[in-house]
Amino acid sequence: MLGAEAVFFVTGAARGIGAAFARLAVGRGRRVVVADVDEPAAKTLAAELGERACAVPLDVRDPAAWEDALDAAWARFGRVDVLVNNAGLLHPGALLEQTDADLRQMLDVNLLGVAYGLRAAVPRLARQGSGHVVDLGSLASYVPLYGQAFYSATKHAVKALHHAFAAEQAGGPVTCTLICPANVDTAMWQRQIAADSNAMSFVKPPLPPERVAAAIWRAAERRPRELLVPFGDGLGAKLMGAFPGLLAFATPRIVRAGRARLERLRARGS
């Protein structure tokens, strides 16, 4: 289902998962729009990738910026086949430790940024007669994480938004996949090392960004409704999220295991 000249529009693409996917897609002969609020970093990556990539500035919190970025994508490549709503952030710390600005930024980027992207891009994909959307959720979309209350709330909201929107588009030319990965070895994960409250992020080693990039590729090719990465951890997250009593029972044990591993990470880094 993925054409030889397919064009991907990837948000938060200058680094992390987005950059890993941009490299994968260009390496497989496709074209990529590297969209990021950090325009210099986006241009650096696009230059590395060559003529099959272009950089566009995009603050996903700004609906007008979405229109400008999509106009630039169409001007360069003449179409977009897959929108990858990848941009997201987490401010470390428990809810009572976070500032009003922290909460507002997570809400605006993680949830409104996805909503604005869907509203701006999907009508264009529909007019051209085909398209696919890949939204990046998280295993936190299913299980509320200790020490990440507001981040979990935004990712729960992304899951609800995604699946309801996909239902609204059913029968039309645009299809949708939600990808929910475990922790990924990105700058966002690295920043949590200093936060004791984020111990649950360290229970297991993080996934390499390339593993999630491969899942995005699979989503674009096969167009499933949802992908859990890894699948087993995703099923566990769904189970605990469905039974609050089980989650309450398991959380202290998981947090203790995460703190032990976090201390080992800190000791190696000191």
Could you tell me if 113 and 119 are in contact, meaning their C-beta atoms sit under 8 angstroms apart?
no
Q: State the Cα–Cα distance between residues 114 and 105, nearest whole angstrom.
A: 13
Contact 67, 88 (CB under 8 A): no
Radius of gyration of the chain (CA): 18
Tell me how far CA of residue 187 lies from CA of 192, 193, 196, in angstroms.
9, 10, 17
Cβ atoms 46, 77 nearer than 8 A: no
Query: Tokens 């993680």 belong to which residue?
Result: 110
Helices (H) and strands (E) in the chain, counts: 10, 7
- For residues 119-144, b (16+ Cβ closer than 10 Å) or e, as one string? ebbbebbeeeeebbbbbbbbbbbbbb
Do the Cβ atoms of 38 and 60 come closer than 8 Å? no
Q: 209 exposed, middle or buried (CB, 10 Å; 0-12, 13-18, 19+)?
A: buried
Residue 142: active-site member: no
Catalytically active residues, by annotation: 151
